[in-house]
Structure 1
Amino acid sequence: MEVTVQQVKDIVSVLTQDEQQLLKDTIIHGAWGDSDMEFLDENGNIETVSMYGYCTNDAVKAGNYKGRIASVMFKSIYKKMCPENHNQTGRYISHCNDWWGDGSGDMLFIRTGYYDAFEKWAKEPVSEESKALNEIIDWIDGSTAYLSTRTEFAKGYKEGIEQAKEIVRSIINNNLKKS
């Protein structure tokens, strides 16, 4: 059975839109080659299987994220996608810090049977609707943290709602301009 792009979307749904974009940037710009790597099987046991590797350092070629920001995002991706072996081994994605042992690059690996679908997914643009939802979710997270530290609950809540409305208006206006 061939893995579909929809299955990849389901797999990466645990990632934020920015993390998904960074993963796409890595796949598009960091293609390296095939080898064997450890992944989790369907029962959570570690197995060595074929894979295709991508150099994470090359993700910055896309121009979306740089330096420490990308590094922090990769840590988050690995925490979500590679739960075993100190966040290095996952079911679909695994990774290795300093693959060549000389400090020149970290690698991300996608198991055989999945990397073709991941590569197709990586070529799809992030939808405006997804961006809008992600911005709203980010706002909610930020507002919740903000409001939890403030005694002026009502004032902060109203300001946050207005900010969310502006984000949605901006996205709608941008879509109208493109039409």
Structure 2
Amino acid sequence: MDLIIPGSGLIIWQIIGFGILLIILGKFAWKPILSALEEREGAIEDALKAAENARNEMAHLKAENEKLLQKARTERDQILKSANETSAKMIEEAKEEASKAGAKMIEDAKAVIETEKKAALSEVKNQVATLALDVTEKLLRKQLKTEESQKELVEEFVNDLKLN
């Protein structure tokens, strides 16, 4: 039974040895171990704080990127709207210019047609007058071939003059 239950002297020496070991460890080993643990704990806390700061910074950057994207979308929409308005305005101006040009061409054509018409009518009148004179001359020559017919015509003219 000696093996199962140690003697009292052995227990005392073990307690004294354990106490000396605790004193030696307390003076030399516990302080470096505790300082290493505290240092490690501080490093872990710093790493956690850095991770939290990085997460906050990422959230801030993400929010700022979202704002920039929204602003870019708004600007894009405004630019597209402005471009569409400008395009519509340019098309409308081109239509108006084409309409004005067409109206001017029609007016010019009407003026040319009117001028040509007047010139043609004047030409026709001149030709009719010339033909009438030619016909009258030929008729008078035929009718006034004889001396008698000439005297009759002169008397008729004289009588007409006296009446007027």
Same fold (TM over 0.5): no
Structure number with higher strand proportion: 1
Structure number with higher helix proportion: 2
TM-score by length of 2: 0.17
- Report which of the two structures shows the higher radius of gyration computed on alpha carbons: 2
Structure with more relative contact order (C-alpha pairs < 8 Å, separation 6 or more): 1
TM-score by length of 1: 0.16
